[in-house]
Structure 1
């Protein structure tokens, strides 16, 4: 076994989990290389993600919390239009967020990725514009462009459609569990001047919303819908994806029609199924997975960004605790994360049912429930939210170990926190 100080670790993916993992690995004395398919740190428009108390505490330990809070979106109002109903419901989101979690920030994913990247960029080797093509059992890695190199360990932090997972574990279809829901996000001009406000249109089986902040200079539109059958499309076939969105939201509301009209002109577009990954193990030999690559609970609904931050922190910590011995560290990492992953999956399924109602009663329940929680005083609203959401109960009890850079024994710390009921725009 190579000594920890010279252990060479390759991380695939430079979005959120990858840079967080790289930061903590370098702090524990490992040598880290990150490979990223994109030619530069990604600035593709992005969308809003939530950081809840555990991830906020880890960000604080990294020294980046002031930057995270500085770039917070500050969404504090929501206007809900129920399909076929004229009168909107107005909601105080700030009260809902404070009731759900004592510590919470909503931030654009690209901003968060940049902050984490900057935290350790001088201590990490980054290979942009490249991708892994083969990983041998002895650690030799082949790339599309760079010459082959040997690493002691390889970590896939490359998202739901992980290249590392495909190379080592097999086709994604073996592990993906469809929820029957789909997600679309596009960037539009903020012609309505939205600043800290979310406009939401909710109908049976479909929800569309727009949010913005003056600091962004533009707005983001979010589409969530259900399909009784699995949709036939390739995740690189953008025209087909846009056609599916138009079909799913046709005739919903004039606002939504205007958003759909801008589909062919948006500078940034994202579409995917809300899929959960269910693997018996995330590790094989010298390779392991972190974040969405190993245990995506479902984009937009499962708290996956906070889960990825926590997972990266735990993986680095367990490797440090075991002196780089992956045969001991990888199982310890999986044990430490297993309960959080199972809970996040359950919370995601519950959140999807709430966000994309399956009945008219569910549509009314979403709007009126949000209004009730925002109207109540802080104590009762917090109690009601925790009684009615699986995620809040789960994440209030979430704890992870502290992994100091030295070799001293770890101690249990209060990273307990609420991941906000499983509602996340990821």
Structure 2
């Protein structure tokens, strides 16, 4: 296959797709709006079919060398007393924390390092126009020269601007009313090898997770009826968080102080992306840009890796891109549908409004850790990361 394929986005799905395209004899180019690889971000996990894809890439051992060594998650109260604990082996080893937890940036860098010698990477630029012709796609860029490619893949995330150039009329988002801020703060003596989950009244959550870089990954998660907070400028978002989390207790003041000096603050509204179809002509989506299931699903990394694997594999099997895109969607959409079955009540259960609700959550979590109930609980809580029969694709010699 001599197809020239432009990929928009260099996070997880983009470099993973570049790996497989090159392996099948195609020529990938990745364009990324950031001026270099974005190595920040929170912890992601490798589980189910996503882990199988990493194994087929020969990267499992390299991934293991980058894990955060997080042992599990403690649910704590305002005195830092542990009310319930889920280790990496809890819930059949596929629960809140798995044995293969690593930073999003670490996984992205691992994929980049594996593909950089075989893939053209263009940093500090982005697609501004896509015009399909009979035998290709004419692409204009914000700073770079016009170029033509055989195919274009949009892999640039839930808020993809390039997706909106092509699919805006058939795209629908689902909101949970949940906002999340992610950032890195200095490590403290109270931070061990376990993540700590703290609930404050008013549907506010503070989560602290260890990393492998001597710092701590913090996130502030809250439900709110206010709309548009994610569209505020960063200083206004931080000011909102200071007001919203005032008086929350526990280590929240330390987290808010650390937020000001954090180098990687990121704020988002949590939602899902639903497209009526995943391709138009020679342009196709993969990962969060096409079918984000939200962090609540626990499936973002798996969908990115499996989507890239199946898309490249079907392009290698089919001479025509339309047949390849249709086969890709036929194989993957049931997997995506399962991942997107996230209850609207899930974040409300995880972030109670009152102190009574928080005590009830801690009680329920304690029951769920009981070995007599954990198997039943795992059927309800564990993401459907293995709910697909991964095809096997021949590799050219």
Corresponding residue to 1:25 among 14, 21, 24: 21
What is the CA RMSD across the aligned residues, in angstroms?
A: 2.4
Give the Cα separation in 2 of the matches to 1:100 and 1:373: 14
In 2, Cα distance between equivalents of 1:311 and 1:233: 27
Partner SS state of residue 19, structure 1: helix
SS in 1 for 2:231: coil
Residue by residue over 1:220-261, the C-alpha shift from the partner in whole angstroms, topping out at 9 and shown as x without a partner, is 1111110124234426x1112212322332211141122112
Change (3 A) 1:91 1:336: same
Tell me the matched-pair count: 392
User: Is the Cα–Cα contact under 8 Å of residues 302 and 385 in structure 2 kept in the other structure?
Assistant: no
Gapped regions of structure 2 (runs ≥ 5): none
Instruction: Tell me, in whole angstroms, the C-alpha distance in 2 between the residues paired with 1:114 and 1:303.
Output: 20
Task: State how far apart, in whole Å, the 2-side matches of 1:302 and 1:238 are.
Answer: 26
User: Which residue, out of 303, 306, 310, partners 1:307?
Assistant: 303
Cα gap change, 1:108 to 1:399, in 2 (>3 Å): same
Matched position secondary structure for 1:59? helix
Indicate how the Cα distance of structure 1 residues 233 and 98 shifts in structure 2: closer, same or farther if over 3 A, else same. Answer: closer
Q: CA contact under 8 A between 2:179 and 2:267: conserved in structure 1? A: yes
Q: Deviations over 1:253-296 (max 9, x none)?
A: 14112211222211210100001111111211111111000011
Matching residue of 1:100:
94
In the alignment, structure 1 segments of 5+ residues that lack a partner are 408-426
1:285 aligns with 2:281: yes
CA pair 271-97 structure 1, distance change in 2 beyond 3 A: farther
Q: Which moved more, 1:199-208 or 1:181-190?
A: 199-208
Alignment pair present for 1:220 and 2:210? no
1:7 equivalent to 2:12? Answer no
SS of corresponding position for 1:278? strand
Out of 364, 381, 389, the position equivalent to 1:399 is: 389
Out of 329, 333, 341, the position equivalent to 1:334 is 329
> Does structure 2 conserve the Cα–Cα contact (< 8 Å) formed by 1:56 and 1:104?
no
Q: In the aligned structure 1, how far is the partner of 2:8 from the partner of 2:80?
A: 49
Change (3 A) 1:362 1:27: farther
1:382 to 367, 372, 375: 375
CA distance in 2: counterparts of 1:103 and 1:184, whole angstroms: 22
Match of 1:416 in 2: none
Structure 1 segment 399-418 matched on structure 2, within 5 A? 399-406=389-396
Separation in 2 of the partners of 1:277 and 1:402? 28
Work out whether residues 93 and 99 of structure 2, in 8 Å CA contact, stay in contact via their aligned partners in 1.
Answer: no
Note the C-alpha offset of 1:90: 4.3
Mean alpha-carbon deviation: is it higher for 111-120 or for 92-101?
A: 92-101
Offset from partner CA, 1:166-215 (integer Å, 9 cap, x none): 2112389x5222110011111100022624211221135121111114x3
CA distance in 1, matches of 2:46, 2:3: 31
- Please name the residue that 2:148 is paired with: 150
Structure 1 pair 152–62 and aligned structure 2 pair: CA distance change class (3 A) = same
Q: Distance in 2 between matches of 1:327 and 1:108?
A: 35
The Cα of 1:342 is off from its aligned counterpart by 1.5
| Offset of residue 368 of structure 1 | 3.1
Matches within 5 A, 1:65-144: 65-82=60-77, 87-96=81-90, 98-100=92-94, 104-138=99-133, 139-144=137-142
TM-score with structure 2 setting the length: 0.91
Structure 1 residues 75 and 349, CA, compared in 2 at 3 Å: closer, same or farther? farther
Conservation of the 8 A alpha-carbon contact between 1:82 and 1:202: yes
Counterparts of 1:403 and 1:360, CA distance in 2: 53
Whether the aligned pair in 1 keeps the contact of 2:229 and 2:237 (CA below 8 Å) is no
CA contact (8 A) 2:14 2:156 kept: yes
Distance 2:302 2:150 in 1: 27
